Amino acid sequence: MEFFSSATEGASCRPGDGSLVNLSGKADSEGIPTHFLIEAAVCLPSKEIMSDAALLTTPLHSLHIELGAKMVAFGGYDMPVQYKTGVMAEHKHTRAAAGLFDVSHMGQLRLVGAQASAALETLVPVDVIDLGMFKQRYALFTNETGGILDDLMIARRPDDLFVVVNAGCKVADIAYLQARIGSQCQVIPMPERALLALQGPLAVTALARLNPAVAALTFMTGGFFELDGIATFLTRSGYTGEDGFEISVAGDQAENLARKLLQQPEVLPIGLGARDSLRLEAGLCLYGHDINIDTSPIEASLSWAIQKVRRPGGARAGGYPGAAVIEAQLAQGPARKRVGLISSERMPVREGAQLVAADGCPLGIVTSGTLGPSVNQPVAIAYLRAEHANIGAQVFALVRDKRTPMTVTAMPFTPNRYIRN
């Protein structure tokens, strides 16, 4: 998810919310990485894909232009792919200091009512009812075959459940929620809200100047805070593998807050290009690429997101779409698994590359891949047949008719640095 773990769209009526970034140095005439696929659809058939003229803008659009951003169509919005320093510099700055991301294109909504938690549990295989006050949890909408419709974040607040969904799926997700549980709770979209992400080891240093109390938060917790007089709801979480914060703010205050953050010496604006390479190094899924309606949470190595209470034998096991399929895979193991791959060669292995054994037997496919700026070698996320998915196993990626050796490795590719206590 774009928010924490995916993330953030692909198959069927859920087109891409973004793609990979070419860090090999090749770019188009405007300097935009050529492998960054421009995808504007918002859960529409291809013939209805939006033109540039129909693209939506976030409350920070004029600020992006002022800062010299290169803009692309992304999730139906005109969004910054990079700023003047470029993708590589933005990636490394976020790992070393703090980067500010505009993620206002994502969907924010509230679920209100006494039955909201129980209702939401009928759509996701995670524990919502026991989620503590101001705690946040990663979740997945599943379908009847155990596939993933979208991934999302849920936070409990005193008067509601605060939910964030992926940009390209938000229209479909909101309609789905209203149709499936709208009779049990209020489903209230929040298009008036902007969403900023401040990520990096010095994010807390910068943000604490606006309100020192934010430093007391730990990973996956949140609260209501005024940041230099601006009302926000924020969580200590993110999509980079670094410490950081996601900040929901009224749209008419977003630019004011962004400027205050950019005045901090640690903070630079960061575009979608570095956002993708950062999440890939962190081993996090992007919806429509690494997870989609044809992948189950177990195949995607997301079984950690299914708490014991929702598993067979638990107090509230099952009761969500695809439960039988998912529970069978929990018990027996899936036929394929999402894995990390790393190569000692310099050639990046991109999404769509076929994976084969030494004898040429097909084994799987790459779903995300790049030359990792932090690890300085090609890394990829892929699906492999389960019997070939053990750590240390060697496979070969077919790249331009060449067999590139790759080794199955644990993820993340670079250590996560969340503040857990």
Specify whether the backbone of 371 is left (phi greater than 0), alpha (psi in -120 to 50) or beta: beta
Tokens of 97: 């200091």
Is a pLDDT exceeding 60 seen at residue 16?
no
Listed residue (128, 137, 108) closest to 222, CA to CA: 137
pLDDT band of 2, cuts 50, 70, 90: low
> How much is the mean pLDDT over the chain?
90
Mean pLDDT of 37-45: 28
Domains and CATH numbers, the chain: 46-103+192-281 (3.30.1360.120), 335-421 (2.40.30.110)
The answer to whether the pTM exceeds 0.75 is: yes
Is a pLDDT exceeding 50 seen at residue 347?
yes
d(C-alpha 406, C-alpha 18), whole Å: 25
CB atoms within 10 A of CB 304: 9
Model pLDDT, residue 8? 33
Is a pLDDT exceeding 70 seen at residue 79?
yes
Task: Report the interhelical angle of 87-96 vs 272-281 (nearest 10°).
Answer: 50
DSSP, collapsed to helix, strand or coil, labels residue 151 as: strand
pLDDT per residue over 385-416, tens digit each?
999 999 999 999 999 889 999 999 999 999 99
pLDDT band of 44, cuts 50, 70, 90: very low
Is a pLDDT exceeding 70 seen at residue 18?
no
Mean pLDDT of 233-241: 97
DSSP, collapsed to helix, strand or coil, labels residue 127 as: coil
Is a pLDDT exceeding 70 seen at residue 176?
yes
pLDDT band of 289, cuts 50, 70, 90: very high
Model pLDDT, residue 154? 98
Mean pLDDT of 152-162: 98
pLDDT band of 75, cuts 50, 70, 90: confident
Model pLDDT, residue 51? 54
Is a pLDDT exceeding 90 seen at residue 130?
yes
Model pLDDT, residue 28? 37
Mean pLDDT of 291-318: 98
pLDDT band of 54, cuts 50, 70, 90: confident
